[in-house]
Structure 1
Amino acid sequence: MRDLPVLSGLLDQGPLALPGGTLPWLSRRRAEAAERFRAHGLPNRRLEAWKYTDLPRALKDREYLPAQRQEPVSLDAVPALIAEAPLARLVFVDGLYRAELSATAGLPEGVRLLSLAQALEREPALLEGRLGALTEGDGGDDPQQSLLALNAALLDDGLVLLVEPGVVVPGRIELVQLGGLSERPVFHCPRHLVVLGAGARATLVERIQGLGPTGSLANAVTEIDLGAGASLVHLRLQEAGAEAVELATTRGSLAADARYEGFSLTLGAALSRHELLFALVGEGAHIALNGAYLLRGTQHGDTTTRIEHRVPNTSASETYKGALDDAARAVFQGMILVERDAQKTDGRMLNKTLLLSDKAEIDSKPELEIYADDVQCAHGATAGEIDADALFYLRSRGLDGRQARALLIEAFLAEAIETLSDEALHVPLLARVRAWLQVASEKQQGASGGEAGR
């Protein structure tokens, strides 16, 4: 493969080297997906959806090894997110499941939680017909979706969460992905599957955290299928290592009266892209898709979303806010599609970004594509510096320049974080924001020679 040499070797190794390699239905899908990826290669800037993110350039001259099972890592415990322990947790290190770090004993009846590799080995019937059902032929012949095909060809492990109809999961389930601990950079393709039956409810906390200096390449795909009246709260906290490349694609389907509440906080990785496509296929379905991003140095963070209203009486709200320092670059591409029969749709989208440096950059492209005539839809985007009047007001009340600036940025981002209905998650997210601002404040103090108020 001309784009990245390691991919050619991985695609040629054959399905037997991967989990579920003896399953005919999975081997067939993998072979077909590998051919599609070979035909298209990595997505590049000539494609509209990738206009602002140059993936081939980011991967140029990088070398990766396939993820391999190692001896237990020297890690006593998984870093806690909040004081309250999760109900259950699956932990993956450099893409591979680690049972000794995981905990699944506290699950109620009607909830299945296991790794993808386990399910393919022990209970493949759970996955046949479900795995890949929402990825539209693993990208089909669309070169913009070639990462879906790459994941389908090489999927190795991931989370499987199946909740039976009517079951309410009484606590948070954590998906923890730890990276940077291998001796050399690794490449892995996680595939996560979340299926909630009618009326089921759950909270999923997904954490991507770099604990070492090694920069891995992850190409993850998540499928989320919510039955009628089901509800999922989904937090995604991305704190990958400074050299990591994090690529993620999420596909979701909401049946009648289903609710999906998603929030992502992006802090890590040299380059990250999270692409989300949700289809509202049942009347009364509602999605809240929100997030925040804080980037510095030369980090590049891309959020690309598409919400499809396919039937009448559905609603969506989407707000992403960010702060960019140094020469960081962010991308926001948002699309709300309202199909012809989707009358009474209510869809709203907003992107706001603070530029803390004259070298920082945001490419914002919110779009509406509406074919129905009885709808309420709106979108907007703003980018700029901190409000000078607000800064002056706070300084007139006794705060120095760095304190006033940090307070305004925190308040700006807190509006997005507070959209999360699980209030216990506000504390760790705001703590991350404050830690990021503390580093920015220290840099500013150093640049000003220690003069308070600069």
Structure 2
Amino acid sequence: MSAIATGAEGFLHRFDGLRQRLPGARLAWVQALREAAAESFRAQGFPTRRLEAWKYTDLRLVADAGFEEALSVVDAEFALPPAHSRWRAVFQDGRLREDLSTLEEAPFAAASLAAGLSTLEGRLGALARPAEQALVALNTALFEDGLVVTVPAGVAGGVLELVSLASPGERPAAFHPRHLIRLEAGASLTLIETATGPAGTRYLHNPVYEIELAEGATLTHARLQQEGSAAFQLGTAYARVAAGATYDNFTLNAGGKLVRNEIHVVLEGPKAACHMNGAQLLRDGQHADTTTVLDHAAPDCASRQTYKTVLSGRSRGVFQGKIHVHQVAQRTDGYQMNQALLLSPEAEIDSKPQLEIYADDVKCSHGATVGEIDADQLFYLRARGIPEAQARSMLVEAFLTEAVEGVQDAVAREALQAAVTGWWEKAA
């Protein structure tokens, strides 16, 4: 096995060498899951721009990087993000760091996936589709750990933090955490994720989330992606939302060199709801892609999507959003909006909103706008003695406020707002 093997074959060689060392090696069902995923990845390879879903995002930088799996935890000092809760799960290079985590006496069950694999047959892989998505296949073949969360029926779980840290190092490393979140009937939880890493260190963070919300459950899922400047993050989330349940997702992309955030949500019970909002704050040289697929598969469901992108320098943003309304999904109420603010003539945004409707009684709309900072508003602030950098920062922050204010949970909203405040002044 070559340490510098690249492309799909490089990852497949590492899988061949690691299969007996990966968690669950003695569990037949886990091995079968990994083997099938490896074969799917072998057949698909890395997605290319010839695929419609990847038309605007080129993964050649990732495929050619020659990543190695992080086989041991590097002994490094970390500055943990500010705490938003007493309950926190900290992962380093995709593995749970129990010494940095605080999960005792929580009103929910939260534990290492690797430690509890023998109890997860039928749950692990229930929502993910590795046969259709190459990066999910790669994760399924090579995952080493993740967080398994279960909130019992009727329990208000409060706030849980999930922190992902990447180790500094000269050799590019890849890690593929698998997170399973289940809320039973009437339960609630706020999950705040933060992903960070050292500037200049090249690594691949390829997480997959499988989220199940039972009848009447509510999950607020806030994701702060603040990876290192040379990092790649390619995340895929699946959520299944039962009758009367609500999935409230907000993703802030502010770090990384190349990032793709892909979300698949199925509203499978009447009066289920989904809010998928987000912001992308891109500096020179960054590429961020948000792709959403929302299936309205039951009647009387509502969905709202508002994504905003701010681009400076030679950066590129992508938004692809598809709403699929099945024939049974009468009285669907779906809304989707993507807005971009260009701060540089060299910045680029690609927007592709889609509606696919097979029901008759629906209220669905989508739209996209692209513009620059309003010169009159900038002049108004400058005329009142506000320096240009601060004035631009105020206008950028105001542009983003609508998306952030859509987050219902106050703790999550404050964490996101803190990351947005003053971004332009820091980026300028």
TM-score by length of 2: 0.95
Give the letter aligned to residue 48 of structure 1. Answer: E
Distance 1:437 1:212, change over 3 A: closer
Give the letter aligned to residue 139 of structure 1. Answer: P
Which residue matches 2:113?
A: 116
Residues 67-92 of structure 1 show CA distances to partners (whole Å, capped at 9, x for unaligned) of 122354323x622144xxx1311111
Which residue matches 2:283?
A: 296
Separation of aligned partners in 2, 1:294 and 1:71: 30
Task: Report if aligned partners of 2:130, 2:140 keep a CA contact under 8 Å in 1.
Answer: no
Residues 118-169 of structure 1 show CA distances to partners (whole Å, capped at 9, x for unaligned) of 112xxx22x111111011xx332x3xx1111111111111111011211211
Deviates more, 1:58-67 or 1:240-249: 58-67
Which residue matches 2:130?
A: 139
Separation of aligned partners in 2, 1:310 and 1:157: 32
What pairs with 1:168-179 in structure 2 (closer than 5 Å)? 168-169=156-157, 171-179=158-166
How many angstroms does 1:102 deviate by? Answer: 0.7
Which residue matches 2:99?
A: 100
Separation of aligned partners in 1, 2:170 and 2:390: 40
The alignment status of 1:80 with 2:82, answered yes or no, reads yes
**SS of 1:424 mapped into structure 2:** helix
Identify the match of residue 122 of structure 2 among 122, 125, 129.
129
How many angstroms does 1:200 deviate by? Answer: 0.8
**SS of 1:118 mapped into structure 2:** coil
Distance 1:71 1:272, change over 3 A: closer
Separation of aligned partners in 1, 2:259 and 2:164: 15
Residues 270-326 of structure 1 show CA distances to partners (whole Å, capped at 9, x for unaligned) of 000010000000001000100011001110000000110011100000000111000
% identical aligned pairs = 48
Task: Report if aligned partners of 2:6, 2:63 keep a CA contact under 8 Å in 1.
Answer: no
Separation of aligned partners in 2, 1:249 and 1:262: 13
How many angstroms does 1:395 deviate by? Answer: 2.7
Superposition misfits of 4+ residues, deviation over 4 angstroms? none
Identify the match of residue 35 of structure 1 among 30, 33, 39.
39
**SS of 1:7 mapped into structure 2:** helix
Give the letter aligned to residue 184 of structure 1. Answer: R
Gaps of 5+ in 2: none
Which residue matches 1:411?
A: 398
Distance 1:294 1:213, change over 3 A: same
**SS of 1:99 mapped into structure 2:** coil
Give the letter aligned to residue 72 of structure 2. Answer: R
**SS of 2:350 mapped into structure 1:** strand
Which residue matches 2:20?
A: 16
Residues 210-243 of structure 1 show CA distances to partners (whole Å, capped at 9, x for unaligned) of 1353221121110000000001011000000001
Give the letter aligned to residue 416 of structure 2. Answer: L
What pairs with 1:18-417 in structure 2 (closer than 5 Å)? 18-55=22-59, 57-59=60-62, 61-70=64-73, 72-75=75-78, 78-82=80-84, 86-108=85-107, 111-120=108-117, 124-125=118-119, 127-135=120-128, 138-140=129-131, 142=132, 145-169=133-157, 171-211=158-198, 213-417=200-404
**SS of 1:364 mapped into structure 2:** strand
Gaps of 5+ in 1: 444-454
Task: Report if aligned partners of 1:420, 1:426 keep a CA contact under 8 Å in 2.
Answer: yes
TM-score by length of 1: 0.90
Give the letter aligned to residue 245 of structure 1. Answer: F
Separation of aligned partners in 2, 1:234 and 1:427: 13
Distance 1:200 1:401, change over 3 A: same
How many angstroms does 1:14 deviate by? Answer: 5.0
RMSD over aligned Cα atoms? 1.6
How many aligned residue pairs are there? 424
